[in-house]
Structure 1
Amino acid sequence: MPVLNRIAAFSDDMTEWRRHLHQHPELGQECHETARYVVDRLKEFGIEEIHEGVAVSGVVAIIEGRGTGAGAGRTIGLRADMDALPITETTGAPWASTHPGRMHACGHDGHTTMLLGAAKYLAETRNFAGRVALIFQPAEEVGGGAELMVEEGVLERFNIDEVYAIHSAPGTPVGQFYTTPGPLMAAVDTFHVDIKGEGGHGAYPQDTRDPIPAALAIGQAMSTIVSRNHRALDDLVVSVTMIHAGSADNVIPEGAYLGGTVRTFDKSVQAMVKRRMEEIVKGHAAAFNVEAVLRYEEGYPPTVNSERETAFAVDVARDVAAEGVVTDDVSPEMGAEDFAYFLEKKPGSYLFLGNGDTAGLHQPDYDFDDAAAPYGASFFARIAERALPVEGN
């Protein structure tokens, strides 16, 4: 079996932990009960150095290795996110969410469980030199918990040299991994356009300054940024995802709103999109005789894996992957991930771990496959052991 034997032996425990977490999802930074559950398990494992309340409800635990060796004096960071999503679950599972309108639809219950499994194993064996920092992070979905942790100095405070994380991947066989060096996931920005005109009776549009034609024209013009303003070989997504206006069929409203998302990998492309949006909004406001204001919010940066650490992580993954299958050259994805903030400061790597033929992420019928947990826990454990080898091993 590719997973570590000791981890395989307590896989039933991991299933119990994961299903408990799944039943009790929490949102954003308010992952206090989740953090309490994590801390209780860490104490059961005999881990003594536990720091709570990091980035509001995050937890960082330190496991000290034994002996001397090439890893002595170094610290490897292993991260799992803890927060859920504001979605009403439809799985019908016995362990379904007990909180209506909240569920673990992105596998963070599984991520937390895998790191707990690695923590249990590493606390028992201590078969590494140096230190391992277990990072349990809130607010990945919204709020940028990773950014908060970085701003609070987690990387410097615990002298973390490298950082690693994994994410559930529906559609990939359980136990198989994939990643790539360099850009893996995109930067994510959000734009809002508030349009103000002058409302009135729908039968007399000449007496109004109708914001709806302006909104439609602005949205259509923004769609041309991808097709006409950037090089076709540069990855870029601009999606208008919201248009709100009006309340009755015979009333021209006073205002309208449209908003959406931008995904990029390159700072110059990001800057071009923002400039063009400003020009489009300003020009169409004049053309339609309305007032229009663009609010452009820069979000998570791109997730960029460092070359050396990704080659190392791929090699480790091949040790524990089902049938040894690891893909190390996937195309970048346009989704986003706030682990990017850690990778901006420290070398490291982000990988995906197969969840089998299940519903997709962020869907109400998604569920983490418990059979994947031993693979993730074994990956985390072997990252520590191989990055921090004990002399003589």
Structure 2
Amino acid sequence: MTKYASISDFQNAEPELVELRRHLHAHPELSHQEKKTAQLVAAKLEGWGYEVTPNIGGHGVVGRMRVGNGNRSIAIRADMDALPITEAAKHEYASTIDGVMHACGHDGHTTMLLGAAEYLARTRNFSGTLNLIFQPAEESGIGSGAVAMIADGLFDRFPCDAIFGMHNHPGAPEGTILMRSGPLMAAADTVTITVHGKGGHAARPHLCIDPVVVGSSIVMALQTIISRSVDSTETAVITVGTFNGGTATNIIAESATLTLSVRTFSDQVRALIKERIYKVVETQAASWGATASIEYDSGHPVVFNSPEETEFATVVARELTGEGNVPECPLIPGSEDFSHFLQHKPGCFIRLGNGESSAPLHNPAYDFGDKSLTTGAAFWARLTERFLAQE
């Protein structure tokens, strides 16, 4: 019977993984600035015998290794960039870069994939092609690293049958692996609405068209889209994040601006909400004698895990940690640019417990849970061995 990687296979490597993770944590780099991180990744992969291609879609790095005669190929992705946040923690490996920290755990994601890379290069218990994708600029929003790498020919240059990715999950116990088939994380769209009224003196509102009043009407009307236009079995969010209008108490402004965040979990609901926002804004503005212009920026699509690859990853996770440690992941209203990869290839995005007491993502007090490093590295190694099982 073939022996696949286990968590115990990484126990001796745990101190080195912790040291590497904390080094990356202390030296974070923002989106599109991951030069030193990419150089470190490339050097380690080259030292282990991978064929390394740097500068894909910016500072992206791909390490490829072919073993045996297998025809299958797998891609595994880790993100590398940090966030413009000042770290609150005072531990000895705190960020050394003012105003920049790994507040989303990408230091841990990179470390886990490197840990698996070293093990797989040493044991070579697979037959086929392994593509390790170290992605820049996950946090940059529109124009993110995933989009850039795909545009730079990622899947043409490094074909794969399926792609997998992982993100830590604060609130879930360390060592647990959360899975969900189908939609997992939301599509994220940004809407800017500018209401055009007629300015004038605050004491003579009857001679004006007050864009603040019009905008307020729009805010309230938008709340009915989810409750009255979207199927009650679906999940969606419309949040008015900003509302700016006016410069003084005695002036009715010429215009006011609102910005919205829209989160959806299906293409159908996403399209419906876009249609309804246009209709609500235009008719509300017209009812006051105003006009409105709308800029609708479509962000990352839904993270949609393909059923077959999710079932496979779930089986591997249960083999590795035990069935009780692989709960179903709840829907996550946050977004992820891994979704762009899943529009090109079948695959699965996985969540890894970061501790029940973990600070939330994008929080100044956040830190990656080092106890999860061996679980994540072992999962990637076993997933690869099982996906590229030798005949």
What TM-score comes out, normalization by structure 2 length?
A: 0.93
Q: Distance in 2 between matches of 1:328 and 1:90?
A: 31
**In the alignment, does 2:191 pair up with 1:191?**
yes
Runs of 5+ in structure 2 lacking a partner? none
| Equivalent pair of 2:188/2:300 in contact (CA under 8 Å) | yes
Q: Distance in 2 between matches of 1:268 and 1:314?
A: 28
Q: Distance in 2 between matches of 1:137 and 1:109?
A: 12
Q: Which deviations, in whole Å up to 9, do the C-alpha atoms of 1:34-69 show, x marking residues without a partner?
A: 21121122233332x11111111111110222x34x
For 1:44, the equivalent position in structure 2 comes to 47
Q: 1:118 aligns with which of 97, 116, 119?
A: 116
For 1:176, the equivalent position in structure 2 comes to 176
**In the alignment, does 2:339 pair up with 1:336?**
no
Deviation at 1:80, TM superposition (A): 0.4
**Mean CA deviation greater in 204-213 or 131-140:** 204-213
- Note the 1:136-175 alignment, pairs <5 A: 136-141=134-139, 142=141, 143-175=143-175
Q: Distance in 2 between matches of 1:387 and 1:9?
A: 25
Cα RMSD of the aligned pairs, angstroms, is: 1.8
Task: Report the CA distance shift for 1:285/1:347 in structure 2 as closer, same or farther (over 3 A).
Answer: same
Q: 1:75 aligns with which of 73, 76, 84?
A: 73
Deviation at 1:324, TM superposition (A): 4.9
Q: Distance in 2 between matches of 1:358 and 1:210?
A: 46
Q: Distance in 2 between matches of 1:375 and 1:250?
A: 62
Task: Report the CA distance shift for 1:324/1:89 in structure 2 as closer, same or farther (over 3 A).
Answer: same
Deviation at 1:3, TM superposition (A): 4.2
| Equivalent pair of 1:3/1:374 in contact (CA under 8 Å) | no
Task: Report the CA distance shift for 1:5/1:44 in structure 2 as closer, same or farther (over 3 A).
Answer: farther
| Equivalent pair of 1:314/1:328 in contact (CA under 8 Å) | no
| Equivalent pair of 1:63/1:122 in contact (CA under 8 Å) | no
Deviation at 1:136, TM superposition (A): 0.5
**Mean CA deviation greater in 129-138 or 156-165:** 156-165
| Equivalent pair of 1:177/1:325 in contact (CA under 8 Å) | no
Secondary structure of 1:90's match?
coil
Q: Distance in 1 between matches of 2:144 and 2:102?
A: 17
Deviation at 1:328, TM superposition (A): 5.0
Q: Which deviations, in whole Å up to 9, do the C-alpha atoms of 1:100-147 show, x marking residues without a partner?
A: 222211111111111111111111111110111000011212233212
Deviation at 1:226, TM superposition (A): 0.3
Q: Which deviations, in whole Å up to 9, do the C-alpha atoms of 1:311-352 show, x marking residues without a partner?
A: 11111112332x553435334222211111111221211111
What TM-score comes out, normalization by structure 1 length?
A: 0.93
**In the alignment, does 2:318 pair up with 1:318?**
yes
| Equivalent pair of 2:74/2:162 in contact (CA under 8 Å) | yes
| Equivalent pair of 2:329/2:351 in contact (CA under 8 Å) | no
After TM superposition, the runs of 4+ consecutive aligned structure 1 residues lying more than 4 A away are none
For 2:272, the equivalent position in structure 1 comes to 272
Q: Which deviations, in whole Å up to 9, do the C-alpha atoms of 1:243-297 show, x marking residues without a partner?
A: 1223333333332111121111222221211111111221122223333111111
Runs of 5+ in structure 1 lacking a partner? none
**In the alignment, does 2:13 pair up with 1:10?**
yes
